[in-house]
Amino acid sequence: MVTAPAEAIPERWPLTEVRRWHWMLTTHEPEPPSIEVATITDAEEVTGLIDDAAPGSHARPGTPGIVAWLGIRDAGRLVAVGAALDQPDGTGHVRGVAVAEGIAAAASGVSCLGH
């Protein structure tokens, strides 16, 4: 467990509840996504979706280690986004996943991970 003094925690990271994180692994490469996943380069667009859908996210454009933001569009509108992060040991990590309100998980965030 990591602890920090309350004054060291940014205001945008409210401590509303403690939740348990479940680590996810795979032993095989997933099938390609059934919907188009694109690299998103517009930092304002990514930030806007995160602010609306996952305001407590600690991954944002400019966060060290993030090599790309990947997203899904619906009729041109960004409806899902996640960051690809390189870990020091060479592994990858998906961080900062946000899905727009009203978009079914089965049609966006879950599908882009190949599930």
CA quadruple 28, 19, 88, 40: dihedral positive or negative?
Answer: positive
Exposure of 37 in the CB half-sphere (CA atoms within 13 A):
19
pLDDT greater than 90 at residue 31: no
When pLDDT is cut at 50, 70 and 90, the band that residue 12 belongs to is low
pLDDT greater than 50 at residue 94: yes
E-assigned strand segments in the chain: 38-39, 66-74, 77-86, 92-99
Q: What is the mean pLDDT of the chain?
A: 79
When pLDDT is cut at 50, 70 and 90, the band that residue 104 belongs to is low
Please tell me whether the overall predicted TM-score, pTM, comes out greater than 0.75 for this model: no
What's the pLDDT tens digit per position in 33-90?
778 889 999 999 999 999 999 998 989 999 998 999 999 998 899 999 999 988 887 7
The span from the first CA to the last CA of the chain, in angstroms, equals 30
**Domain coordinates in residue numbering, the chain:** 33-112
